[in-house]
Structure 1
Amino acid sequence: MRAMIAGKLRYLLSQRRPRALILLASAFILVFGAFFVTVRQTHAASYCQVSYTISNQWQGGFGVQGISIQNTGTAAWTSWSLTFTFPAAGQAVTQGWNGNFTQSGQNVTVTNLSYNGAVAVNAAPNPLPGFNGAWTTSNPVPTNFAVNGNVCNGSGPPPTPTTAPTSTPITGPTATPTKVPTATPIPTVGPTPLPGTHVDNPYVGAKGYINPDWAAEVRAGATATGGTLGAKEALVANYSTAVWLDSMAAISGTNGYPRSLVGHLDAAVAQSTGGQPVVIQIVIYDLPGRDCAALASNGEIPNTAAGLSTYEHSYIDPIAAAINQAKYSNLRVVAIIEPDSLPNLVTNLGIAGCATANSNGNYVQGVQYALNKLHAISNVYSYIDIGHDGWLGWSSNFNPSVTLIANTVKGTTAGVNSIDGFISDTANYTPVTEPLMTANQTVGGNPVRSETPFYQWNVYIDEQTYDIDWRNAMISAGFPSTIGMLIDTSRDGWGGPARPTVAST
């Protein structure tokens, strides 16, 4: 079974390449979330204002990207301690960042770390604390907050949770990594799209597909582990995962695959409740001579003219036919297009298989055929792979890759409109943001990016900055300003309590 998580930071166990989708964009780059729920509370004595935002929710789990704790008093804080109470008994913090999280019953305490304790008047911790959590029967927003013993939910009308997409605009390329994004005001909610309508952002207002086979495998492993760790492992079963179609047998559900593509689509339909659309993610991954620079993931189809025909008619056509049925029209199908394919045609032409894929055109033609077939289905959303900053970040790789991928997409029937966006860092490890240092920051007399053999003078040390620049480059190349971005974070990690809290000297 192959899995792609749709969430912020997930630990998965699968036969191939687990991953999470954390950032996506419409006209913006956003932290992934089916919806955002925000509640703000201010103390009558004006000591603090807290904004708690549910940025991502799925069955049994949720994410709070950043709790904004604003100092509205008259003196700066040298440290802070936030307390709040979960309204429901089944709510729990499972993983926190940018703060020390402890929980006793339904009561949660968050204290600052060494690098975000000082908060000036009218400011908030930088970066903000956030967490992933679990819930059972419901996930209501807490309404009682206190900072340093001062209650922040004083007089004034009670807060009203609001459901709507976030709106964090990209203002242009940045020279340094962006800090963890803060909670932002919520715009007015527009009309609810009709079922099957192709929307700008497929994740907004939708919930992710829970693969029953994946969930059963996770729960079985958690039971075998047992104890506290096993209980934490079991929570992973509630994460939405993608279906890897990495062979023709994966489509039919044969040769060891527990479920066909149609079986997954049927299961996704069954999970739709109350008219809420379901996002099911699939990974298109079987080009002729696939992944030409990585022997371990070479595919089943030979990189020949006959192989291209097999890819088009025995792989892509059955996928399109399976999806293009009336009973699936209310699903939102996100298709991740051929990880680790086109970038190889820029950086790895010294490898015979990649040189062949470049000379015979099979990679480009195969991707174009896939985009043409999938774009014709209104409820499919295609995102094309763009490697990651540690691969294409140098200008000698970045610029030719932009040109190659832009021209590949423009060569489809619908041109730039044949895709909904791009995805980076697929099955890789680059942090989304690096909160403790920038690429050009001087450490030991040299800029961070000069460190060898790690950064090797790459201008990027985080994925978000790379994606922002990529997106802007594509808009300059003629793509619409609404083009979206996804970042895979499934192999990212925070390093636990031993992670450094300041840049090295």
Structure 2
Amino acid sequence: MSRDRRTAPSTAKPKGRSAAALTAVAALAAALLTVLGTAPEGAVAADAGNPYAGADLYVNPEWSGPALAGGAPADLAGQGTAVWLDSIGAIEGSGGMGLAEHLDEALEQRASAPSGELVVQIVLYNLPGRDCAALHSNGELAPDEIDRYRYEFVDPIAAIIARPEYADLRVTAVIEPFSLAYLPDHVSPHPGGTPQCDEVLALGSYQEGVAYAVAALADAGVHNYVDAGGHGLLGWSDATPFYDTFGNAARLYATIFDHGAEPGDVQGIAVNTADYSPLEEPYFDADDVVSGVPVAQTFWVDFRGYVDETPFALDFRDRLVAEGFASDLGVIVDTSRNGWGGPDRPTRTSASTDPNIYVNESRIDRRQDQEHRCNQVGAGLGERPQADPIGDPRLHAYVWIKPPGESDGPHADNDGGFGSICAPELGSLPNSPPAGAWFQAQFEQLMVNAWPPL
């Protein structure tokens, strides 16, 4: 598939089922590699099916170095994590490694990868009017700067990846976390609506930006996974007393095909990015009934149709296919912080006859509220990255998109970038640094509470 495009300016849930922990290979800190499985004869090609199958993951030295220094064993520091491109400057490096430098390092890692194949994971996170609902993590582009997004951000990324020297790398991209998934619940007349989200919806900034990104990157050979939030955000359906965020979101996602994208441009969806929702709640379901009262009515569940991520992800994937996405659409789940192990992890279903107590004593997700997503107390590393974790071809991989140990944001309004969601009274760890900075206390907690345990 080829498209005419402007050149960038020269300034430019089955209960009881849990995937086995990944057995990692200890390696030198200079070239730590995560084994997703030795590639069998006839391993999946880079342009077909599941791009994670039969490949190792690129280990970002800008993450593995701090992880080792922070006390991680070599196999943990050797896990693959994504490279976030959250500004135009990040493409060239902004004081760190630029995209081309990461790809050069990936070529070196591929040469010694056990499978002979390597997946490099990137995240595009710079839409015009970015994070219109969060407000504390606004990006550099105004809601109407779609041309800058296209030609100064997306096109340079695509041009670098398309260089001939990188043709043997598999590149996957998570496209714009916290964008399309946030609009259904954060535009008027919904209670969570903001003027900023109303503006980007009216302008079409998110739909046009996502459509352009997946089309341009697909032309460069990238496997695109459009971010799809999670069950805590889109878990309400038309069967609930509120509104159909599930269906509304699916219909909104399909509008990218009205803005130049094609179904073949999208390899899959990414869920739980930088979030804490568990893959499964083993001790209760959303449709449980306690003392004649559906647990859906409890504060925690809040009428959602889901309490865990895997069932939501597969159902939402199926709904997107019904809305016009490709029939082989896949799913990746960020498991970097959703393990919830440690001494406070429940071990059985509550015997309480009070629905709220029943839920609170049964759930392994120990947050105060599913809307809380900032450096959460008690969180732990989740399943290690691995391809085809449950044998369902729709679920491509567990991945670590949010690098463990990187802060979600500061705990107080002192150095800027503060959002009230990061306040300690909402369950966030105290003394947290700005978003993206290394947060040693968080990293140590994640290791202690890892599930499966380290």
Q: Does the alignment reach a TM-score above 0.5?
A: yes
Q: Are 2:248 and 1:400 aligned?
A: yes
Which structure carries more relative contact order (alpha carbon 8 Å, separation 6+)?
Answer: 1
Of 156, 163, 185, the residue aligned with 1:318 is 156
Aligned to 1:436: 283
Q: Structure 1's 436 and 465: CA in aligned 2 closer, same or farther, altered over 3 A?
A: same
**What whole-Å deviation, never above 9, does each CA across 1:375-404 have from its counterpart, x for those lacking one?**
1122x1000011111111101111110000
Once the two structures are superposed, residues 150-196 of structure 1 have per-residue CA deviations (whole angstroms, 9 ceiling, x without a partner) of xxxxxxxxxxxxx789xxxxxxxxxxxxxxxxxxxxxxx673466xx
- Among 390, 396, 400, which residue is 2:232 paired with? 390
Q: Cα RMSD between the aligned structures?
A: 2.5
Question: What aligned pairs does 1:360-439 form with structure 2 within 5 A after superposition?
Answer: 360-378=203-221, 380-395=222-237, 396-408=244-256, 410-413=257-260, 415-439=262-286
2:322 matched residue in structure 1? 476
| Offset from partner CA, 1:211-233 (integer Å, 9 cap, x none) | 112111212222xxxxxxxxx45
Match of 2:93 among 253, 278, 283: 253
Bigger radius of gyration among the two: 1
Q: Identity across aligned pairs (percent)? A: 39
Unpaired segments ≥5 residues, structure 1: 1-28, 31-115, 117-125, 138-162, 166-188, 223-231
Q: Secondary structure at the match of 1:490?
A: coil
Tell me which of 191, 202, 208 is aligned to 2:57.
208
| Cα distance in 1, alignment partners of residues 106 and 48 from structure 2 | 19
Indicate conservation of the 8 Å contact 1:219/1:234, yes or no: yes
Task: Work out the CA distance in 2 between the residues paired with 1:387 and 1:363.
Answer: 14
| Mapped contact 1:371–1:412 kept (Cα < 8 A) | no
Cα distance, 1:413 vs structure 2 = 4.0
Q: What residue identity is the alignment partner of 1:292?
A: C
Distance 2:41 2:129 in 1: 45
Closer, same or farther: CA 192–133 of 1 in aligned 2, 3 Å: closer
The partner residue of 1:221 within 70, 73, 77 is 70
Q: Verify the 8 A CA contact 2:174 2:226 in the aligned structure 1.
A: yes
Distance 1:128 1:429, change over 3 A: closer
Matched, 1:462 2:313: no
Deviation string, structure 1 residues 412-453 (Cα, Å, up to 9, x no partner): 54521110011111111111111111111223442222211x
**Large movers: runs of 4+ above 3 Å:** 126-137, 232-235
Measured in 2, the distance between the counterparts of 1:129 and 1:260 equals 34
Give, in whole Å, the separation in 1 of the partners of 2:163 and 2:128. Answer: 27
Residue type matched to 2:276 in 1? Y
Q: TM-score scaled by structure 1?
A: 0.59
Q: Residue 269 of structure 2 aligns to a residue in which SS?
A: strand
Distance (whole Å) between structure 2 residues aligned to residue 281 and residue 359 of structure 1: 31
Contact 2:215/2:262 (CA < 8 Å) preserved in 1? no
CA contact (8 A) 1:372 1:412 kept: no
Residues 107 and 166 of structure 2 are in contact (CA less than 8 Å); yes or no, is this contact kept in structure 1? yes
Distance 2:106 2:262 in 1: 30
- Relative distance call for 1:236 and 1:128 in structure 2 (3 A) is closer
Equivalent residue of 1:494, what SS? Answer: coil
Looking at structure 2, the residues matched to 485 and 129 of structure 1 have their Cα atoms a distance apart, in angstroms, of 15
Q: CA deviation at 1:303?
A: 1.3
| Alignment size in residue pairs | 318
Structure having the higher strand fraction is 1
**Structure 2: gaps spanning 5 or more residues:** 1-12, 28-36, 188-192, 238-243, 353-454
CA, structure 1 residues 193+345, in 2 after alignment: closer, same or farther (shift >3 Å)? Answer: closer
**Secondary structure in structure 1 of the residue aligned to 2:121:** strand
SS in 2 for 1:202: coil
Q: Residue type of the partner of 1:472?
A: D
In structure 2, what is the equivalent of residue 288 of structure 1? 128
